[in-house]
Every structure is written in structure tokens, then in C-alpha cells.
Amino acid sequence: MLHRLEIENFHSIRERQVIDLVARGNASNEDGRLAPLWPGSKELAPKVVAVFGANAAGKTNVLLALKFLVNFVQTPHPKAANWHLRFLNDEAHRSSSYFCVHFSGPEDLTRTADADTQQCRYEYELTLGHSDEFGQIVESERLSFWPQHAKRQVRIFERNNEGGVKFHKDLVIGRDYLSLLKLGLPRNASVIAVLGSVGHVALQFFISQANLILTYIALENDTPISSEVVDFYLKNPSVLVQLNKDIDALGLGIHKIEITTSQDRTFMMFHHEGLIQPIISQFESNGTRQAVKLFPYIGVVLSRGGIAVIDELDQALHPFVLSEVVRWFHDPIRNPHNAQLWMTCQNASLLHELDKEEVLFCEKDSKGQTSVYSLADVKGARRGEDFYKKYLGGVYGAVPQIG
């Protein structure tokens, strides 16, 4: 579970923004909306994180930061010289960008594949600078954790701006890895991605954890149902089975979806009540197509654990259906692995369904800088009050300023 995110100098986020999801000690959890940071932890964080704010306030940039970090630790040989956009003023463009995430992982680095090993808090920090010669460069990178036996933060590895890397004594490196490090790490690539890609077992684990984070950014996915989406359902028939089980709850007016092949082409077919034959996806509504495209992100993380990061989920689903999806993540039977849902949302009516620990707000100032804050940190915000009414009334901020 991801329970803290820090972002600085990334798109519209200029000053460091700290998103700390750890609930206060007196937070109520009678309805199971919060989950332990790891099995046995006394600290809790929400399973649903919804980001609200005016258009162009920077909501999507919060999710883009997560996507950027996931891609960064997965890609050993970045093709692009610059993977991210700094805040666009002269001072910020010459400054470094900073990212930090807190998540859970195994206390014993030699047993990363053992699901029964005790877990603890991890921290991954990344600082990126800019070079005219290399483009984006890593100025520092650090992975650390808090094993109980050590009673303090312990460094797993730390990299400096010359590319030198120091490792924890239990993170066995071996001759081949040392040789690779002597040749020099790519200045725009992660230690995790480079060594994990050549078989370093412990670092492969962190890549596998990144693989559990599925991201969907609306501005990058405005096309109809693609062949990649259809292929995913073909290769993962259990997801299609689950989609058909949930099809009534999604309110699509469809009783079955199937995939057929004709003349070497594969089609997704939609069966509607009262129609004599199914309809191909090209003739379905945009809302239906969006729901089918998004369902794998939701269905997969609910079944295996992980994080679904979905931009503008409310634009694809009716408010009643969106409320049902949120309830899936709250439900311990439907969500046995405490998967998380991070989403941006324009439809303020969803605030009726959320507790204050589940709500983030984005607001942009006159200089174009985004600030991010939690409803739980808004002074005077009380559990059980009408968040929807007070938000629309401007009590919490992060509403459009018209006129």
C-alpha cells in the first residue's frame, strides 16, 4: 500500500507537496475504508484516494507523478532524453525535481518472494536534474526501509550525482553486478531498473511491485477500444468473466460481452436485451467503451492487489456506478488484498460516498502553481458533515473561480 507521496517541480507542482495518507490515531474505521499499511501495522491509510479540484488545477499531475515513478523504476534504457516536464518558469526549469514515495515491503531482503515474511515501511527518493549533454540526469536516488530489529531507517542503496552507489551489506551484489556498475550506470536511469533487468533478485522484487501499479491517464487514452484492450481480455479470460459478472452493476444496458474472430480479425461484441444480434464496439456509446477500457485496471488490482491509478474515472461511469466501484474497494470480500484506487474526479456528488481521509484537493494560485491538501487537514472538517454541500459552498477551497 502506498501511503505517502511527495512531489516537487513537476508539471504545475512547483513547491514540494506532501500527500500523507496515514490516518490519525483517532480515525474511525468501523466501515473498513482504511487498511493497515502492511499486515500487522497499527497505522492505517485509505483504500480509495479521490482528487478533486477545478479544471486545470493540477489533479492529473498528481497521478502523472505516480506514473512517472512507475515507468522510471521499470525502464533500464530510457529512450527519451527528458521524461518529465518541470514547472515552466526560468528558475524552476534550471532546478531539480524531487519525488518520494512510502510503501510497504518485506523486512528480510533475502526473502522477497516469501509472502509470509514480516513487512515494514519503505521509502524511495529520487532527485532529477538537467544536463545540456545528457538531458534528464539522476542527481540522487535512495531506497531505504525501517526493519523492526534495526529500530531506525536503514539504507538499502544510495546513489550520488557521479553515479556511485553504496549498498546495504545484506543486499548481495556479486561480481557481475559490480562489473556493470564500474562500466557506469546510465545517467538518466534507475539503479532498480538497471540491476533488476539483469537479474538482481532483490531489486527485481521492487520492479514487480511497480508492475502492480496500473495507470490510466485520460489525455493519453482518448481513442476507441483498441486491439491492445481486446488482446488483454483474450489473454486474461478471468477478467472478461468478472466483467460479465459485474455488467449489471456497471449499468451499461448490456447482458453479455464476448470476443469473436472473423476473417482474421478479432471483435468485441455487446449483447443487448431485446436486440436480435450483438453490436460491435464501434457502435457502442463512448461511456460503454470507456467502461470496458477501464475495467481491467479495476478488476486486476482487486483480484491480485496493487494500485489502480485512473484519471477522470467519473467521466466514464455514471455517478451511481462510480459509487458502486468505490464500494468494491471498501469491501474486504471483493478487495481481499487491500488494493488501492487513486482517481481524479470532477463530479462532486461522490463526496457523499467518501470519508475525509479519502479526499484530496488541488488548487492553483495566480502564478500557476498547484497545491495539494487533504480534507482531513482542513481545519474544522468533521466526519459525517455534508462534504458535498460545503465543498460547493467554497468552504474547503479548490473550486472554480468564475468571472
Residues pairing with 145 in the sheet = 122, 154
Whether residue 180 lies inside any domain: the answer is yes
pLDDT at 244: 93
- pLDDT by residue (tens digit) across 261-303? 887 788 899 998 888 888 888 888 888 888 899 999 999 999 9
For residue 379, report the phi and psi dihedrals to the nearest 5 degrees: -60, 130
Percent of the chain as helix, strand, coil, to the nearest 5: 30, 25, 40
Closest-CA residue to 323 (of 296, 350, 342)? 350
pLDDT at 335: 97
Q: Look up residue 10 and give its DSSP letter.
A: B
Q: Which amino acid is at 204?
A: Q
Tally DSSP H helices, then E strands, for the chain: 11, 18
Closest-CA residue to 91 (of 314, 369, 317)? 369
Whether residue 382 lies inside any domain: the answer is no
Whether residue 103 lies inside any domain: the answer is yes
The H-assigned helical ranges of 45-116 are 59-74, 90-93
Rounded to whole angstroms, how far apart are CA atoms 42 and 35? 9
Altogether, the residues listed in the chain come to a count of: 403
Strands 165-167 and 154-159 come out as antiparallel
Whether residue 339 lies inside any domain: the answer is no
pLDDT at 354: 95
Task: Determine contact, residues 330/291, Cβ cutoff 8 Å.
Answer: no
- Laid out side by side, the sheet with 135-145 consists of 17-20, 4-8, 97-106, 119-131, 135-145, 154-159, 165-167
Residues of the chain with pLDDT under 50: 81-82
pLDDT at 287: 80
Rounded to whole angstroms, how far apart are CA atoms 1 and 38? 7
Cα torsion at 340, 346, 349, 350 (round to 10°)? 0
pLDDT at 37: 96
Whether residue 205 lies inside any domain: the answer is yes
The domain total for the chain is 1
What domain range includes position 98? 4-22+32-47+63-213
Which pTM value belongs to this model? Answer: 0.91
